[in-house]
C-alpha cells in the first residue's frame, strides 16, 4: 500500500488549510502509515467492495481504504476538509480518484447515501460521538455488513463487552442488536496529531440478525436505557419507572422469564427484547419511551 500520509504531509496539509484541530469535532489525525495499514488489514476488505468512512479528516485512512477497495464514500462534517479530500487523493493517488465520493454532512443525521451502497464501515470515529454515530449508521444503512472502527479504548471495551463483564452496559447491548463485536487491537496515542489524552482501540463488527422478538428496536432500547440508568439496582426497581411501578416491573419480568432480582448487566440483547415484548400493550403505548 503506497502513497500514504506521514507526519510531514499531515502537518503540511493542515498548515495550508490553516486548520486547528478542534475537540468539538473530535479531530485527531492519524499520521502513521503502519497504523493505517493495520486498520485496513483488520477490516478484511475486498477489491470490489464499497466502503463507508466517517470523519476522513486530512485523508490518511481514506488513501488506505481506496487502495484496498472498489469505492469509498466519505462523510465529513467539516466543510473545508470535505472540499479538500478529492484534491488530496488526486495528489497522492490520482488513479483512485474516480472511486471516491465525498458527502459533506453530519454522520448523526445520515439516513441514506448515494450509490454504491457500502457493505463495510472503516473509520476513526470522533470520540465524543462515536457510539451514537455507529448505532445510527447501522440502523440507517442495512447494507453495512461488517467493519472496523477506531474509538477511545474504554469505549472499545464497552462495545465489545459481553453480559456479566464489568464493561458491559447500554452501548454493548445496543450494538448487539445489530452485530457481533470484538476488540482487535490497541492504538497508541503517539500515532495521532494532535495526540489525544487516551489510547484508542479497534473494534471489528459483523452484522447479525436482530433478536427473534415482536418487540421493536426502539422498545428494546428503552428497556436497556432504563436498566442501565440505575445499573446497581435490581431490575424490579430499575424498570419501575419504565413499567409504571415496581409491581408492574416484576410482572413484566416474570412474563419474560427474567429474574426480577437480576441486574441489567447480566442480560443479553435477547432478554432485553423479551422484556420489551412482555410489557402490556396499554403500558407500551404510554410509558415506554424509545432510544438509540
pLDDT digits (tens, 9 = 90+) for 146-172: 999 999 999 999 999 999 999 999 999
For the chain, the domains span 7-207, 217-284
CATH architecture, domain defined by 217-284: Orthogonal Bundle (1.10)
pLDDT digits (tens, 9 = 90+) for 191-229: 998 888 889 999 999 999 999 999 999 999 999 999 999
- Report the candidate in 209, 226, 223, 237 with the shortest Cα–Cα distance to residue 274: 223
The sheet that has 71-76: what strands, in order across it? Answer: 100-104, 71-76, 50-54, 120-124, 146-152, 200-207, 179-187
pLDDT of residue 195: 82
Residue 33 has pLDDT above 70, yes or no: yes
pLDDT of residue 24: 60
7-207: in CATH 1.10.10.10: no
- Report the candidate in 181, 178, 134, 174 with the shortest Cα–Cα distance to residue 276: 174
Decide: 135 and 108 in contact? Cβ < 8 Å: no
- Report the candidate in 61, 23, 29 with the shortest Cα–Cα distance to residue 43: 61
Q: Is the pTM above the cut of 0.85?
A: yes
- Report the candidate in 72, 71, 40 with the shortest Cα–Cα distance to residue 54: 72
Q: Coil, strand or helix: which one is 204?
A: strand
Amino acid at each position: 500500500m503506497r502513497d500514504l500520509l506521514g507526519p510531514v504531509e499531515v502537518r503540511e496539509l493542515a498548515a495550508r488549510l490553516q486548520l486547528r484541530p478542534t475537540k468539538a469535532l473530535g479531530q485527531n489525525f492519524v499520521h502513521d502509515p503502519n497504523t493505517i495499514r493495520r486498520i485496513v488489514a483488520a477490516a478484511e476488505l475486498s477489491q470490489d467492495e464499497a466502503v463507508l468512512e466517517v470523519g476522513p479528516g486530512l485523508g490518511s485512512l481514506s488513501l488506505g481504504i481506496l487502495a484496498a477497495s472498489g469505492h469509498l464514500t466519505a462523510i465529513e462534517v467539516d466543510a473545508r476538509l470535505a472540499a479538500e479530500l478529492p484534491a488530496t487523493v488526486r495528489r497522492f493517488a490520482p488513479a483512485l480518484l474516480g472511486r471516491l465520493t465525498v458527502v459533506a454532512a453530519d454522520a448523526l443525521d445520515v439516513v441514506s447515501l448515494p450509490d454504491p451502497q457500502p457493505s463495510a464501515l472503516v473509520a476513526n470515529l470522533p470520540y465524543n460521538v462515536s457510539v451514537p454515530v455507529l448505532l445510527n449508521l447501522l440502523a440507517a444503512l442495512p447494507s453495512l455488513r461488517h467493519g472496523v472502527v477506531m474509538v477511545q479504548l474504554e469505549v472499545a471495551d464497552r462495545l465489545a463487552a459481553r453480559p456479566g463483564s464489568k464493561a458491559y452496559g447500554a452501548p454493548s447491548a445496543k450494538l448487539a442488536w445489530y452485530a457481533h463485536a470484538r476488540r482487535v487491537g490497541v492504538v497508541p496515542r503517539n500515532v495521532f496529531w494532535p495526540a489525544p489524552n487516551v489510547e484508542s482501540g479497534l473494534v471489528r463488527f459483523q452484522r447479525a440478525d436482530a433478536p427473534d422478538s415482536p418487540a421493536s428496536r426502539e422498545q428494546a432500547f428503552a428497556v436497556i436505557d432504563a436498566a442501565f440508568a440505575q445499573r446497581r439496582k435490581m431490575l424490579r426497581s430499575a424498570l419501575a419507572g419504565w413499567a409504571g411501578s415496581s409491581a408492574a416491573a416484576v410482572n413484566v419480568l416474570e412474563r419474560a422469564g427474567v429474574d426480577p432480582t437480576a441486574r441489567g448487566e447480566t442480560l443479553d440483547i435477547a432478554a432485553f427484547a423479551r422484556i420489551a415484548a412482555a410489557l402490556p400493550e396499554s403500558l407500551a403505548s404510554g410509558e415506554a419511551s424509545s432510544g438509540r
